[in-house]
Amino acid sequence: MAQVTLWGSLSAAAGGRDKLDIEAKDIRELFRKLAEQYPAFEPLIDRGIAVAIDGTIYRDTWSKELPPGAEIFLLPRLAGG
């Protein structure tokens, strides 16, 4: 069971909750389950969500495993110059 923290504009998609417990082995499964439980996440996932695992931000590596006990944050995907 991973505890996932939702930041910024993302918590609105989970009905205002900013912490969720989700059983997932990697980012792909995490996104799939999020979209199942909270359909509002689907367009956000399509648009792009960044996942911070123990402080390192991943934007596109959906195969990245979620280590047990890892601190996981979901952040909006950013634009850069």
Partner 1 sequence: MNFDPRFSGRNFTSVGTRPIRPDGVDKVTGRARYGADFNMAGQLVGRILRSPHAHAVIRKIDTSKAEKLAGVKAVITAADLPDLTDGDTAMYDILDNSMARKKALYDGHAVAAVAAIDARTARQALKLIEVEYEVLPHVTDVDEAMKHSAPLINDAIFTEGLEEKPVKPSNVCKRTQYGHGDVHQGFAEADMIVERSFKTEQTHQGYIEPHACVASVNADGTADLWVCTQGHFVYRQHCAQLLGLEVSKLRVTSSEIGGGFGGKTHVWAEPVALALSRKAGRPVKLVMTREEVFRASGPTSATSIDVKIGAKKDGTITAAEATLRYTCGPYAGMWAEIGAMTAFACYRLENVKTVGYEVLVNRPKTAAYRAPSAPMAAFAVESAVDELAKEIGMDPVEFRIKNAAQEGTRASYGPVYGPIGIGPTLEAVKNHPHMKAPLKANQGRGMACGFWFNFGGQTCTDLNIGMDGSVSLAVGTVDVGGSRASLSLVAAEELGIAYEHVKAVVADTSSLGYNDMTDGSRGTFSSSMATISAARNAIKVLRERAAQMWDIPVDDVAWEKGHAVAKGATHGNLAPLSLKEIAAQSGKTGGPIAGHSELVADGAGVSFATHICDIEVDPETGATRVIRYTVVQDAGKAVHPTYVEGQYQGGAAQGIGWALNEEYIYGKDGRLQNPGFLDYRIPVCSDLPMIDTQILEIPNPNHPYGVRGVGETSIVPPLAAIANAVSNAVGVRMTHIPMSPPRILAALEAEREG
Site track 1-40 with partner 1 (rule: CB under 8 A), x = hit: ----x-xxx--x---x------------------------
Amino acid present at 72: I
C-alpha span between 33 and 13 (Å, rounded): 14
The encoded tokens of residue 27 equal 């980012």
Cα 79 to chain centroid distance, Å, stands at 18
**Interface with partner 1 includes 65 (CB under 8 A)?**
no
> Which spans of this chain sit near partner 1 (rule: CB under 8 A)?
5, 7-9, 12, 16, 47, 52, 54-61, 64, 71, 73, 75-76, 78-81
